[in-house]
Amino acid sequence: EAGVAQSPRYKIIEKRQSVAFWCNPISGHATLYWYQQILGQGPKLLIQFQNNGVVDDSQLPKDRFSAERLKGVDSTLKIQPAKLEDSAVYLCASSQGLAQYFGPGTRLTVL
């Protein structure tokens, strides 16, 4: 069974630029999550989708972050404009039940 796919694996941008990350969950998983993991910390939930609807986006900085899951399968997370403090690993996870399965993440560096 294929795991959660993410791209790109690494991205370096300058502050005030925009960036987008892509995630393809495990086939059949209805729930998709985006997490931000800052160095030395545990992942923090940004947004949770159930099929193509948003379940929880209370910790998403909506002035600069946006996410969509238009067809209930893959998802895109965008940051515009990026700030230095957005440097982190962005993890996508999916679930069909209790356990969540994570992708390899995208490491973002904002200079």
Residue ranges that bind other proteins, judged by CB under 8 A: 4, 6, 33, 40-45, 48, 55-56, 58, 91, 93, 98-105
Which are the contacts of 44, defined by CB distance < 8 A and separation ≥ 6? 35, 36, 37, 38, 59
Of 33 and 65, nearer to other proteins (C-beta) is 33
Minimum distance, C-beta of residue 101 to other proteins, in the bound complex (Å): 7
Of 36 and 110, nearer to other proteins (C-beta) is 36
If one counts every other C-beta atom within 10 angstroms of the C-beta of residue 98, the result is 5
